[in-house]
Amino acid sequence: MLTHFPHSRVGSISKKSLVVGTSPYRTNHDAPHWPPSSTLHIETQEDVEVRQQKEKAARLLSESIDRAIAAERAKRKKAQPVVRILLLGQAESGKSTTLKNFQLHFTPRAFHADAEAWRIVIYMNLIRSVNSILELLDADPDKISKNRTPSYTSLFPPVRQERTDRQEVTTPLSPPPRPSQTNGQRRPRTADGSFARGGLASPPPFGHSSPHLPPAHSHELRRLKLSLLPLKNVEATLNQFLETVPAAPIRPPESYSLEISISPKKQSSLFQTDVGADEALVADLPQLLKSAGSSQSISSDSTLSLKSSKSLKCRLTRRHSVAPPSRTSTEERSSFEKSARSPTTEPPSKPLAPPPDPLPSPTRITDILSSSLRRPPLVFKQGHDQVHLELAVRVRGNSTWKRVARTFGVSALVGGKRDVVRQVADQSSIISFDGSVAGQELTDRDFREFSAARQVIEACADDMKKLWANGEVRDLLRRHGIHLEEQPGFFLDDIERITAPNYVPATNDILRARLSTIGVVEHRLKMESGAESGQEWVFYDVGGTRPQRAAWAPFFDNVTAIIFLAPLSAFNEKLAEDPTINRLEDTYQLWKTICSNKLLASVQFILFMNKYDILVSKLRSGVRFERYVTRFKSDDKPLDSPEKVAKYMLAMFHTAHKKTSPKPRKLHAYLTSVIDTKETLKVLYHIREQVIVGHLHESKLV
Ligand SMILES: Nc1nc2c(ncn2[C@@H]2O[C@H](COP(=O)(O)OP(=O)(O)OP(=O)(O)O)[C@@H](O)[C@H]2O)c(=O)[nH]1
Ligand SMILES: [Mg+2]
């Protein structure tokens, strides 16, 4: 039998009759051996043709097997049901931070590649703290006293609540009882102008006559105020860059088909493809096509048509990937939407706050840069027992902001030259650099602005530190019950580190950065390791304020699991959007509404009893849980035990789940502090297993 070596090595000596196998020689043995036999096998032309035919057939067979394997793989991948996870909970409950944990542990490469984008948010959080302090120092006394909600007391009041006050309250979760002497009025002062002992009311107004306040700020404080003034412009600049990123349309999961035809007359289809449910791509598409000289018209909610001078026609058609909602699901959704607007069992005592101001439409970047600060001069978050300054950054509800943020990060690092930014970006693939924001070309001036912002922050570092360490400032904050260090987005203790020239956002900084979510944002995470490597999990991260909750309902279809975030530490806080409502009460009512939803009857329920670390520090500092949740009775003196409080709340959520679920369902509850990545990792592994098993079970694959 002939031993076949790769045919490329069979040199053809003569085209006509004989082909002599060159080294290695062909032998009539079964296998080649060394040294080669001296007997040469001579192939006739006929032999060669037969052999070549055989080789061709083998090659074709091998290729068809390869194709079949690839097709089978693709089919299996397609058949694998997508895991969809919905993150729900009120604002500031930790939904986005939980998502960051999933990204950190399951898609670490993507997480670290995004790190640079968080620099701008961290800087914004820091600058907002400083600017808020400066505004506090300058604040108009009348404005401050109006902004204070009289019934809110400091987090660390002298214990003053009498037992009788508590007995008046009958609801299980009720706001703290009001001190009788306040009730909208300030407490009387003693002859020397100080507040009478034994009770609490609104803190004294800023400025003027109060003997608690120094008549004028010291020379050093005046100097600091002046030297830190440029930070206002920096805030305005960065703010506008982030807020004017256009929003992707918020739609439930579905797919799109894109059809581009060359001539509208012939209707010849040049290109037709499934865009899938890639919201970012769909959002970018009109802009991309428009920049190619097209004009666009949206004929209906679902079809976007574009025409260009070159008679190019595009149709982007929305196709529901899930069956159109049934009557029950529509009813169920609308009932959720209704209840989402008013999730408490009792109607709220005053109308809900209107939705937040619509964000401005995109304008030219250069205009943006010259515009002034849009934020109100001093933002108090109403309704907290402690006065809460808003440090959060708001961006449009999609991930496009990251492109802007990464561009900022790189240009802040390497200086304002557009070409240098492009080079660094290309080399490091930190950003997908296209030199534009919101479809508009960034100019050299824009890049200079980015780098100037970074320089101002660096130059102000020393004075920011001095301001935060200043005794007068600390005193002012303390007197007005402001605990900046307990607020999300607090970076004043890290000024030196985060303003250093070689600073790169650390994992913990990214988790602590506060960026409020607007709308519903889809995140696709492709597992980078483990048995599910390559599998895609889809997360929906929602904005948690009350006016945004009606937008959640369309995402209840086809969801695998819900992770509900209940912030345990919120028991003594009020909703920012409605200061009449206690945050724990709101979470509890929201939980019951979600549990009772029929659309979610078969969905896996995961509860994160979150912010346990803050609960512990609050209770250790002397805040009593029983003052706010009157049914909770504790013999622990003088401090409440965090374990007992957490256990009580767990039982409360468990019972509500059991009572309100449309059919029996298992609840997986965890006590979490999602800024602790190590502990959270254990929880995530557990969830991963449980979601996969439950999901396969549900899909009848096991
Ligand atoms: N100390 C502590 N901080 C937390 C914890 N969870 C979240 N945070 C912080 O709380 C802030 C708010 O968290 P987010 O994840 O942005 O809250 P959210 O639920 O997404 O809020 P919205 O997007 O407004 O609905 C962030 O600054 C987090 O760093 C926690 O367990 N402990
Ligand atoms: Mg969020």
CA atoms within 13 A on the CB side of 342: 10
Q: What is the pLDDT of residue 672?
A: 95
Residues of the chain with pLDDT > 70, as a percent, come to 51
Residue having the nearest C-alpha atom to atom 15 of ligand 1: 94
Q: In 213-240, which positions are buried (b, 16+ CB within 10 angstroms) versus exposed (e)?
A: beeebeeebeebbebbebbbbbbbbbbb
CATH topology of domain 80-107+527-702: Rossmann fold (3.40.50)
Is the pLDDT at 171 greater than 60? The verdict is no
Structure tokens, 355? 């939705």
* Stretch 459-470: mean pLDDT: 95
Q: What is the pLDDT of residue 189?
A: 33
Q: What is the pLDDT of residues 580-595, one digit of tens each?
A: 889 999 999 999 999 9
Structure tokens, 288? 């991309």
Say which amino acid occupies 61. Answer: L
The pLDDT confidence band at residue 324, using thresholds 50, 70 and 90, is very low
Q: What is the pLDDT of residue 341?
A: 55
Residue having the nearest C-alpha atom to atom 11 of ligand 1: 488
Which atom of ligand 1 is nearest to 125's Cα? Answer: 27
Structure tokens, 43? 């192939």
Locate the DSSP E strands across 313-441. Answer: 313-319, 380-381, 388-389, 393-394, 436-437, 440-441
C-beta separation of 547 from 244 below 8 A: no
Is the pLDDT at 22 greater than 90? The verdict is no
Cα 353 to ligand 1 centroid, rounded to whole Å: 22
Q: What is the pLDDT of residues 230-259, one digit of tens each?
A: 888 888 877 776 664 444 433 444 444 444
Residues of the chain with pLDDT > 90, as a percent, come to 23
Q: What is the pLDDT of residues 130-142, one digit of tens each?
A: 998 988 887 644 3
Is the pLDDT at 194 greater than 90? The verdict is no
Cα 558 to ligand 1 centroid, rounded to whole Å: 26
Q: Is the CB of 396 under 6 A from ligand 1?
A: no
CB atoms within 10 A of CB 201: 20
Mean of the per-residue pLDDT values of the chain? 67
Q: What is the pLDDT of residue 647?
A: 93
C-beta separation of 433 from 274 below 8 A: no
Q: What is the pLDDT of residues 78-112, one digit of tens each?
A: 555 688 999 999 999 999 999 999 999 999 988 88
Q: Is the CB of 486 under 6 A from ligand 1?
A: no
Q: Is the CB of 93 under 6 A from ligand 1?
A: yes
The pLDDT confidence band at residue 389, using thresholds 50, 70 and 90, is low
Nearest ligand, CA 98: 1
Q: Is the CB of 514 under 6 A from ligand 1?
A: yes
Q: What is the pLDDT of residue 388?
A: 53
The pLDDT confidence band at residue 554, using thresholds 50, 70 and 90, is confident
**Residue 14: CB partners within 8 Å, gap ≥ 6?**
none
Terminal alpha carbon distance of the chain = 50
Structure tokens, 692? 């996969």
Residue having the nearest C-alpha atom to atom 7 of ligand 1: 94
Q: What is the pLDDT of residues 37-86, one digit of tens each?
A: 555 667 788 889 988 998 998 888 888 888 888 877 666 655 556 889 99
* Stretch 597-621: mean pLDDT: 93
Q: What is the pLDDT of residue 540?
A: 92
Q: What is the pLDDT of residues 212-233, one digit of tens each?
A: 444 467 788 888 888 898 888 8
Which atom of ligand 1 is nearest to 100's Cα? Answer: 15
Cα 102 to ligand 2 centroid, rounded to whole Å: 14
Give, for ligand 1, the residue of 675, 678, 683 to mutate: max count of ligand atoms closer than 8 Å to Cβ.
Answer: 675
| Separation CA 385–CA 396 (nearest Å) | 29
Report residue 515 CA to chain centroid gap.
Answer: 7
Which atom of ligand 1 is nearest to 548's Cα? Answer: 25
Residue having the nearest C-alpha atom to atom 29 of ligand 1: 512
Every domain of the chain and the residues it spans: 7-77, 80-107+527-702, 116-245+359-515, 255-319
Cα 515 to ligand 2 centroid, rounded to whole Å: 7
C-beta separation of 11 from 23 below 8 A: no
Cα 239 to ligand 2 centroid, rounded to whole Å: 18
Q: Is the CB of 516 under 6 A from ligand 1?
A: yes
C-beta separation of 151 from 562 below 8 A: no
Give, for ligand 1, the residue of 96, 523, 607 to mutate: max count of ligand atoms closer than 8 Å to Cβ.
Answer: 96
Q: What is the pLDDT of residue 153?
A: 25
Helix axes 444-469, 230-243, angle to 10 degrees: 130
Cα 393 to ligand 2 centroid, rounded to whole Å: 11
Q: What is the pLDDT of residue 278?
A: 42
Q: Locate tokens 């939803």: which residue?
A: 597
Instruction: Give me the numbers of helices (H) and strands (E) for the chain, helices first please.
Output: 21, 19
Q: What is the pLDDT of residue 207?
A: 35
Q: What is the pLDDT of residue 502?
A: 84
Q: Is the CB of 480 under 6 A from ligand 1?
A: no
Q: Is the CB of 517 under 6 A from ligand 1?
A: yes
Residue 87, phi then psi, degrees to nearest 5: -100, 120
Q: Of 524-528, 532-536, 611-615, where does the model show the most confidence?
A: 611-615
Q: Is the CB of 394 under 6 A from ligand 1?
A: no
Q: What is the pLDDT of residues 416-445, one digit of tens each?
A: 555 655 555 554 443 444 554 444 456 667
The pLDDT confidence band at residue 332, using thresholds 50, 70 and 90, is low
**Residue 700: CB partners within 8 Å, gap ≥ 6?**
none
Is the pLDDT at 370 greater than 50? The verdict is no
